[in-house]
Amino acid sequence: MKRLLLVAALLVAAAGVAFVRGCSGPRPALVSARMRGQIAEAVVRNEGSGEGEFLVGFRARPRSGGPALQKSRKATLRPQETARVEVTLEGARGDEQLEVELDYPAR
């Protein structure tokens, strides 16, 4: 009887882990980021098995100083997918230092 209860508890725990893993969202990872004129581009890969929406935050800092240009965009990833996310940063010259932040879940 104890063995049956132990096996049942292990099965419930394994099913719970599988359910949470399957219902978990993406695990976005930044592959590359660059500026092309006024276009900021980020290549993002989903390193998880879930899918969902996440937020990509772009911050372009002028190398000569001054205020940073910022913009964000929501994107969606499927399991193991790689996506390119682009935004236009008005006033950018293309020589700014680009920082990209990925945020899941998207807020």
User: In sequence order, what DSSP letters do the residues of 11-78 get, joined into one string?
Assistant: HHHHHHHHHHHHHS---EEEEEEEEETTEEEEEEEE-SS--EEEEEEEEEE-TT-SPPEEEEEEEEE-
Residue 60 lies in a domain: yes
How many residues are given for the chain? Answer: 107
Residue 97 lies in a domain: yes
**What are the pLDDT digits (tens) for 94-107?**
899 999 999 998 77
Residue 20 lies in a domain: no
Per-residue confidence (pLDDT) for residue 25, from 0 to 100:
87
Tell me the average pLDDT across 46-59.
94
Residue 78 lies in a domain: yes
Residue 96 lies in a domain: yes
Tell me the average pLDDT across 79-92.
95
Here the CATH number for the domain that contains residue 82 is 2.60.40.10
Residue 16 lies in a domain: no
Residue 37 lies in a domain: yes
Number of domains in the chain: 1
Domain containing 99 equals: 26-103
